[in-house]
């Protein structure tokens, strides 16, 4: 602990520095060190003011993630904060960087808080399915009021220095280095210019209207989540005497810790880090300082925008001037939207348009690009032609990538004389917003090229996941399977709007039929036609989507699909019911009633079954890779951790029993994966495979 906390006596100021790189996490050593340093400062007669600062880039960014899931080590952070607050000598904190969660709770235990102008404060605990557990829900309302505290604690959002000052979390804002600020503000305390007090001794004013409003806001924003409501419960109890309020906070914290939502959110948190561990991680990535994009449609424009955000110069090639005009308009709109949202400065926006973006109708203008990403429509012959041309036009060291969603990277690579330098980079639409990037590794893709794909993903602020080659890779292969069961249930009697509603109640932002409308029904139609020749004879045929497409209804883009959007609002398309009834009659099906729970069970079990086969086939390295794909690319409810984490909550034996029961209806579709049957027999889990 002497390494992570230090004490200097500078005149009559005791300066405590937390130095626990990279983010000064409040580890057990830091916690014990703070207690000891406070005691040492209080016992020094020369000291009259104590100041706490953080070394490096932040004060303290909160809990130490290395302690997650382990037996708690004393002193607990609650005790540390109370110990600081009980100090006989005034304690001030100088906050910089990201002072979050437990770091902010430490600061609230101090008697005054000074922030640098760029500091960000907040309680992100709800993102892990818990509430602040070291006094944050009790001290913050005493400074900000119940309404404000309930809002920023339950949302987990970050506050700027100005907002934190206005809400009472900061007592002052000062520019400069934390060390110099600490010494200056300690003198202000001595001169009486900076007031100090124990926050826990302040009264919190009861505000039932604010609490009611906060509950309503959470119910609208996150109706399925437990932790935000428990945050409000704890804030509402801040009128209690501090010790009683802290005890209540710990009860609510423990309740949240025991939920599946907390476990799912923690799994999701670590999943983003786990997928970075790939066989090629030790390889040195190749330098990528310029990017070419072939195709200026929705995907190509989005990929180009994402690269421009990351500071990469982009050359975009389209077939003709009209295509370039559409791409130019799309990218300009993306950049303008980023400025409006505060994600891009006006100066950077102007610089990008002035010099970082080049348009062309000639593939030869990609000759000097370090990496060229093809993003044209899903036609193998077109892609093969483009790659053959790029192979002759691009410099020998250039990497060539396809944004294909389904097609065989090995076939594409075989059209070139550089198959080791070809890979898939499957972005998700809209590419400048969606975080998932599937890095698809061909049979001959060189290890350092794989590492380069991951390095690019990091530069573009994407979550990269390694995928093997098969039709649809990880995500779309699984989607192609479980989406069928939604069609089967629709044909067998569940209305498509009921299926959507049941899955939205489960936690998906949109149900599968609404998603199909949004993506464009013609995309699935094209895929079904492409795969028609290889469709097994035993597979059920559901022609509803095809009949809808034959009418020219492709979803939102044409204002009609499963739903009708012509009024400006989504409503069930009554003409689809007639199509559905005709398809049922043709198939000789008498519709049956479905419970919402049965809809969810079938949909999720089908997803888990194909995800298991993806693991069996080595397309994904680990179950957590599948979970990450669905969390970041397919809107899987984060609190459920991903399909295979969710599978562990059900148990392999229960899943096998379901599939065996439903196989009596459809033996072709409900085939039990061998891996899942093995897990049911030996009691193992997908989590075990992740650890292995």
Q: Which residues are catalytic?
A: 105, 125
Report in angstroms the alpha-carbon separations of 352 from 106, 294, 305, 374, 483: 42, 19, 10, 21, 40
Tokens of 487: 């069609």
Tokens of 30: 């830091």
End-to-end CA, the chain? 33
| 76 token code pair | 């607990």
Q: Per the structure block, which two tokens stand in for 250?
A: 């710990």
Burial of 565 (0-12, 13-18, 19+ CB in 10 A): middle
Token pair of 435, please?
A: 């975080």
**C-alpha to C-alpha distance for 629 and 612, rounded to whole angstroms:** 14
Closest CA to 510 of 464, 555, 461: 555
> H helices within 421-573, ranges in order?
447-459, 475-492, 496-506, 512-519, 521-531, 544-550
Contact by Cβ (8 Å): 630, 257: no
Nearest Cα neighbor of 428 from 467, 463, 378, 380 is 463
Answer yes or no: are the C-beta atoms of 77 and 43 closer than 8 Å: no
> 488 Cβ partners below 8 Å, 6+ apart?
540, 542, 666, 669
Number of other CB atoms surrounding residue 17 within 10 Å: 21
Contact 368, 396 (CB under 8 A): no
- Give CA–CA dist 384/559, Å, rounded: 34
């Amino acid at each position: 602990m002497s390494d992570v906390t230090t004490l200097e006596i500078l005149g009559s100021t005791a300066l405590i520095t937390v130095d626990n790189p990279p983010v000064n996490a409040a580890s057990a050593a830091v916690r014990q060190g703070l207690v000891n340093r406070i005691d040492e400062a209080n016992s020094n007669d020369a000291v009259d003011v104590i100041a706490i600062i953080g070394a490096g880039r932040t004060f303290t960014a909160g809990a130490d993630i290395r302690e997650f899931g382990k037996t708690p080590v004393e002193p607990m952070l609650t005790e540390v904060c109370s110990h600081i607050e009980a100090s006989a000598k005034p304690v001030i904190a100088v906050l910089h960087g990201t002072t979050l969660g437990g770091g902010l709770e430490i600061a609230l235990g101090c008697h005054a808080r000074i922030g640098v102008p760029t500091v960000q404060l907040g309680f992100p605990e709800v993102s892990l399915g818990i509430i602040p557990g070291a006094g944050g829900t009790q001290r913050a309302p005493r400074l900000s009021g119940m309404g404000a505290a309930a809002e920023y604690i339950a949302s987990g959002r970050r506050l700027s220095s100005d907002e934190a000052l206005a809400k009472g979390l900061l007592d002052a804002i000062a520019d400069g280095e934390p060390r110099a600020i600490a010494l200056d503000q300690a003198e202000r305390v001595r001169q009486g210019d900076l007031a100090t007090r124990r926050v826990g001794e302040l009264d919190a004013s009861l505000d039932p209207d604010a609490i009611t409003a906060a509950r309503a806001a959470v119910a609208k924003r996150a109706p399925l989540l437990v932790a935000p409501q428990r945050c409000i419960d704890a804030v509402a109890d801040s009128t209690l005497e501090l010790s009683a309020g802290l005890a209540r906070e710990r009860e609510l914290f423990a309740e949240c810790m025991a939920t599946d939502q907390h476990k799912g959110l923690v799994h999701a948190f670590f999943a983003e880090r786990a997928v970075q561990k790939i066989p090629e991680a030790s390889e040195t990535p190749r330098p990528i300082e310029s990017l070419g994009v072939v195709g200026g449609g929705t995907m190509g424009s989005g990929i180009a925008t994402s690269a421009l955000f990351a500071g990469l110069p982009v050359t975009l090639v389209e077939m003709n001037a009209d295509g370039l005009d559409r791409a130019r308009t799309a990218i300009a709109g993306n950049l303008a939207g980023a400025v409006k949202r505060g994600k891009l400065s006006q100066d950077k926006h102007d610089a990008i348009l002035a010099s970082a973006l080049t348009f062309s109708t000639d593939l030869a203008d990609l000759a000097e690009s370090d990496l060229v990403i093809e993003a044209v429509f899903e036609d193998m012959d077109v892609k093969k032609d483009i790659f053959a041309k790029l192979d002759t036009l691009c410099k020998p060291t250039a990497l060539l990538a396809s944004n294909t969603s389904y097609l065989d990277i090995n076939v594409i690579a075989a059209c070139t004389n550089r198959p080791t330098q070809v890979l898939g980079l499957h972005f998700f639409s809209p590419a400048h917003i969606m975080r998932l990037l599937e890095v698809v590794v061909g049979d001959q893709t060189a290890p350092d090229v794989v590492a380069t794909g991951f390095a690019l993903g990091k530069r573009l602020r994407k979550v990269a996941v390694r995928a093997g080659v098969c039709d649809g890779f990880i995500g779309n292969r699984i989607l192609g399977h479980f989406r069928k069961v939604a069609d089967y249930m629709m044909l067998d009697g569940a209305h498509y709007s009921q299926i959507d509603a049941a899955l939205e109640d489960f936690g998906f932002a949109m149900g599968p039929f609404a998603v199909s409308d949004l993506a464009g029904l013609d995309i699935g139609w094209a895929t079904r036609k492409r795969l028609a020749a290889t469709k097994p004879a035993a597979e059920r045929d559901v022609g509803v989507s095809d009949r809808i497409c034959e009418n020219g209804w492709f979803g939102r883009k044409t204002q009609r699909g499963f739903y009708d959007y012509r009024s400006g609002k989504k409503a069930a398309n009554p003409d689809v019911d007639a199509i559905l009834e005709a398809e049922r009659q043709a198939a000789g099906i008498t519709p049956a009633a479905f419970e919402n729970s049965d809809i969810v069970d079938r949909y999720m079990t089908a997803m888990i079954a194909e995800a298991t086969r993806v693991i069996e086939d080595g397309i994904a390295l680990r179950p957590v890779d599948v979970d990450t794909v669905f969390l970041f690319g397919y809107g899987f409810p984060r609190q459920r951790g991903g399909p295979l984490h969710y599978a562990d909550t059900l148990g392999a034996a229960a899943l096998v029993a379901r599939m065996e029961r439903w196989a009596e209806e459809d033996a072709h579709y409900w085939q039990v994966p061998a891996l899942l049957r093995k897990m049911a027999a030996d009691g193992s889990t997908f989590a075990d495979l992740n650890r292995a």
